[in-house]
Structure 1
Amino acid sequence: MRLIHAVYEPAGEGPHPTLIAMHGFGANALDLLGLAPYIADGRFMVICPQGPMEVPIGPTRGYAWFPIRMGGPPDREAIEDAGRAATEFLNVALQKYPVDRKKLVILGFSQGGMMAYRLAVRNPSKFAALVGIATMFPPELKDEAREPESLERLPTLVQHGRADDMIEITRARASVETLQSLNMPVTFREYDCGHEITAETLTDLSEFLTTKVLEPVISA
């Protein structure tokens, strides 16, 4: 597989409900893996790909999906390259691991959330749910939305801290408005925290995944 990745696999042969978890700028494949036992009581297989771009973080190094240009326009080519790499990874992972394809969730934190939005909006029928944490919806993606009927059936959870000093809460609120304009069923949760995942975040995430993916209520 092209991207380094880490995997948490529940007991049993599967297929398992599966969460593709995409880390933020400067982190790595292990960054979100430690959350796996606490998400919905560890019932999801969690697959964490690592961004292809190496970035210096003080004396060590981290990884990113695409470069950040402070005050400048985004690097569209790098973003598209990352999108292609993530899509290729996803397709191979579905073949390699015992994934329940009817219960596949895409989740991203910060920059990884932007990638999760990109994958979901372009291929909504692949996913049972979408989660964006401490992130923002890239405005240009609205014009790239595909399969509107699938988007309208894609449960989406947006979680954000009011004290986030990396991505301001106003960007998350604007993202929710954009998602709603695409008729996506959005659940929005704000927290008294910064650019982070807290115990309260995990509790709400677990409840969302349980009710929308693991034990959905099917209306007649």
Structure 2
Amino acid sequence: MVEIPGPETPPLDPVYVQWSAAPADRAGRPLLVLLHGYGADEHDLFGLVPYLPREFVVAAVRAPLTPPFPAPGFSWYPIEGLDGRDPRHVTEAASRLNEWVSASSDLEPVGLLGFSQGAAVALQAMRLQPDSYAFAVNLSGYVTPGPLAQDDVLAELRPPVFWGRGTHDDVIPDFLVGHSTDWLPAHVELSGRVYPGLTHSVSEAELGDVATFLRKQLDEPAA
């Protein structure tokens, strides 16, 4: 099994979280956590809020690492160097996300929506704590290779996961797409779409599909 490493990645800073609702307006509502991609920040995916069902309280969090110069923004784990994309870095980032969710909100159910790196972290967080999340949205991301201790529990629960990606996405390596294609149907209730011509980005058609998926989660709350 992959061991959860020590706290090399800093905790998520609650100062750098964009909320769609004030504290007084959050009670009794489901929480959707947004995780941006490499080189972005908490403002990036927050622009999706108008496309998402209003029932959700949305929290867009900032990744804890700063990429090497001249890359802008923030990252969840390093992709440069000899240990770039090392699974332990993804696991550590997911552990930090789980800590933040546990400490920052008592809203439930909780869903995750990530883009690229953020999607990889979202899926890894769900694998670490399958009981904590009702669903996940994986946009242009992947499942991190290597077994985790709770994978069998996840396969029993089979939470809904939406996976959207483009035919012209040349950022995520083919072997990670192939691994995700094999792994996800065996562990989650998978739905999604491959978008012709889409690069490593999000389209309006994809946002429409995501909104439909999220509304279904509102109609069918987790048991």
Distance 1:177 1:204 in 2: 22
TM-score normalized with structure 1 length: 0.83
- CA RMSD of the aligned region, Å? 2.7
Deviation at 1:29, TM superposition (A): 0.8
Distance 1:178 1:195 in 2: 21
Distance 2:174 2:192 in 1: 11
Structure 2 residue aligned with 1:20: 33
Percentage identity across aligned positions?
25
Paired residues for 1:135-214 under 5 Å: 135-141=141-147, 144-148=150-154, 150-152=156-158, 154-168=159-173, 171-182=176-187, 184-192=188-196, 193-211=198-216, 213-214=217-218
Amino acid in structure 1 at the alignment position of 2:73: G
Q: Is it true that 1:33 corresponds to 2:46 in the alignment?
A: yes
Between structures 1 and 2, the one with greater strand share: 1
Counting matched residue pairs gives: 208
After superposition, the Cα gap between the structure-2 partners of 1:76 and 1:136, relative to the gap in structure 1 and judged at 3 Å, is closer
Amino acid in structure 2 at the alignment position of 1:189: R
Distance 1:170 1:84 in 2: 24
Amino acid in structure 2 at the alignment position of 1:19: L
Q: Is it true that 1:54 corresponds to 2:66 in the alignment?
A: yes
SS of the equivalent of 1:172 reads helix
Distance 2:58 2:41 in 1: 14
SS of the equivalent of 2:102 reads helix
Structure 2 residue aligned with 1:6: 18
Pick which of 13-22 and 67-76 moved more.
Answer: 67-76
TM-score normalized with structure 2 length: 0.82
Structure 2 residue aligned with 1:215: 219
After superposition, the Cα gap between the structure-2 partners of 1:203 and 1:57, relative to the gap in structure 1 and judged at 3 Å, is farther
Distance 1:194 1:47 in 2: 26
**Is the contact made by 1:53 and 1:66 (CA closer than 8 Å) also made in structure 2?**
yes
What are the superposed Cα offsets for residues 126-174 of structure 1, whole Å, 9 maximum, x if unpaired? Answer: 112111110111111466515246532x011110011111115664353
Paired residues for 1:85-124 under 5 Å: 85-95=96-106, 99=107, 101=108, 103-124=109-130
